[in-house]
Structure 1
Amino acid sequence: MTAQTTSKTTPESDERPREPEARFSDLLASEWIKLWSLRSIPWAFAGTLALILIITVTGAFADAQHYTGNDEKGQAYFRAFGTVSASFNTGAATMLIVGTGAIGAITVLGEYTTGMIRTTFTAVPARRSVMAAKAAVTIAAATALGVVAALLSFGAAQTVLSGQDAGVGFGHPGIVRLLIASAALAPVAALVGMGLAALIRHSVLTIVVTIALLFVIPSVINGQSHFGASLLHMTILQAWRRIGYNQAVGEMWPWTMEGAYIVLAVWSLVAAGLAILTAHHRDQ
């Protein structure tokens, strides 16, 4: 009796080798390319920056004319406090949040309105990672815009005021804090626009809601009551004002600078959460 040896052969796998999953750094690079491939983005950045400078310079010229008509006491008060607000005024801050809010919305709508988001999610099924990378790129670009806008606004305003010997430098009390607060407005507003775009997914409606939430609603709230002041304290623009400017003497409903930082942080976290989580729970 001969022993027979049987050899077991394993069938070759029909599965194709899987491609390695995209690293987060790859997603960042991809989102950066996609951001600047949108033709509206460079125009949105340039337009926002140009309008901010126009608003700042116009306000600085008005302040300079008003300065020359003041007495010595009024001029001294302006040099102490007015030069700070002239460096980045409320109009410039409003333009910055509206512009960057729209930019944040465009970063999402650019793919959703064309249907390219389906291709993106097919190539990278990890939707949360894709949206997290998009949020990171948006934050970086918006922060850069905010820093440039704050510095150029400060330089333009002080150049105008220096003609009346009212200009100040970075060492003036409150200037650096105002510029930091102003630069921080940009990424916060951009995240709000991005979160609303991921939630609404309609171009016109998203822009309308973003502008209404960031500018229109805060402008119509009456801050003379405790309830109205509390609502204002929850808005981005009012938080910027509290951080950037000194607390007004005798303000009826004062609040802390820490509270203003918390407001900006909450807006950012909620908006980023909307952008990331809605992509996971809703199919395209």
Structure 2
Amino acid sequence: MATRTTRSPRARAPLAGPGAGTLPPVRFRDLVGSEWIKIRSLRSSAWALGLVALFVLGASAVAALADYRDFPQLDPEQQAEHVFSLHDAFPPEGYLVLMLAAGTLGAISIAGEYGSGMIRTTTVAVPARGSVILAKATVLTLLWTAVGTLVAAASFLLSQSILDGRDAAIAVTGPGAFTALAASALLGPVSALVGLGLGTLIRHGATTVLAAVLLLLVLPMLLPPNKPSTADLNHTLVLSAWQRLTRTWGSPAAVDHYASYAGSWTVYALWPLVALTLAVLVVRRRDV
């Protein structure tokens, strides 16, 4: 009796040809999307951003209300100068907290992966480690630029609406107002990218956060801008550049060694650039 050979109706021959069975290369926009999901999925990120915004606006309102109350006691020259208007719009107390939050979140975005071991999974999925760092930098830049712009605009409008009751408000087209607005909006992304660079270099969460605090907030206070021996170093720091651009040091005539506007914008550009360059170079050469 003849036997009949059966074949599976779904049997298929193995794929052949170049590139068969391999996954397509990861696109940079896919990396950006992945990093955005990581940040968005963390409840702490939303809470931190919301609290920072509320703190900055609260500090601006308190400063503006204090000057509103004290305005009649100022001499006519001080009333005419409106020096306090920008200070109230961009209070240092509020923006120090913003720097702290941005630098910390930037540092944790990479140091946290090293601490949890997730960086091994990331590098297996994406061998191009430099692209991972650049994707994180892109997300941090977009996020903190959006947050910084909204917070800076809101604090400016809030403070000037309060001071308008004394005819002491200034318009965004007033002297130095737009520069201060832009500098305050960009302070967040600059600080976040510095934190990202430190996190890549140090790879330890607590140590990286401490280093970010020392570099962004403490060091400028240890280098007085009114002494020749420390002024030049002070002018190379992010906080000092922001203070210059927002005029929170007062008028240039009040300080013997005052940074230039061009120099302060250069500081804003160089810190993120150097931090990212070092981060990319280190992550490509170092074992996970």
TM-score normalised by structure 1 residue count: 0.89
In structure 2, what is the Cα distance between the partners aligned to 1:71 and 1:253?
Answer: 27
SS across alignment from 2:170: coil
Aligned positions of 1:81-230 closer than 5 A: 81-230=83-232
What secondary structure sits across from 2:116 in the alignment?
A: coil
Letter in 2 for 1:244: T
Q: How many residues align?
A: 271
Deviations 1:144-184 (A, max 9, x none): 11111101111221122123232232222221111001111
Give the partner amino acid of 2:117. G
From 72, 79, 88, the equivalent of 2:76 is 72
Corresponding residue of 1:50: 54
Kindly state the Cα deviation for residue 138 of structure 1 after the two structures are TM-superposed. 0.8
- Give the drift of 1:74: 2.7
Distance change (3 Å), C-alpha of 1:250 and 1:75: closer
In 2, the alpha carbon distance for the partners of 1:277 and 1:232 equals 27
TM-score normalized by the length of structure 2: 0.87
User: Deviation above 6 Å: which 4+ runs of structure 1?
Assistant: 12-15
Q: 2:34 aligned with 1:23, yes or no?
A: no
Partner SS, residue 166 of structure 2: coil
| CA shift for structure 1 position 122 | 0.7
CA apart distance, 1:124: 0.9
User: In the alignment, residue 169 of structure 1 is paired with which amino acid?
Assistant: A
Q: Distance in 2 between matches of 1:49 and 1:15?
A: 50
Identity %: 38
Q: Verify the 8 A CA contact 1:105 1:194 in the aligned structure 2.
A: yes
1:271 aligns with 2:250: no
Matched, 1:33 2:15: no
- Letter in structure 1 aligned against 2:229: F
Gaps of 5+ in 2: 1-15
Letter in 2 for 1:76: A
Worse-matched range after superposition: 82-91 or 97-106: 82-91
Q: Distance between the aligned counterparts of 1:175 and 1:210, measured in 2?
A: 28
269-278 vs 19-28, which deviates more?
Answer: 269-278
Greater CA deviation, 244-253 or 196-205? 244-253
Q: Secondary structure of the residue that 2:253 maps to in structure 1?
A: coil
Question: Deviation at 1:21?
Answer: 0.6
Distance 2:176 2:261 in 1: 13
Paired AA for residue 276 in structure 1: V
In 2 relative to 1, CA 39–137 (structure 1 residues): closer, same or farther, beyond 3 Å? Answer: same
Q: 1:73 offset after TM fit, Å?
A: 3.0
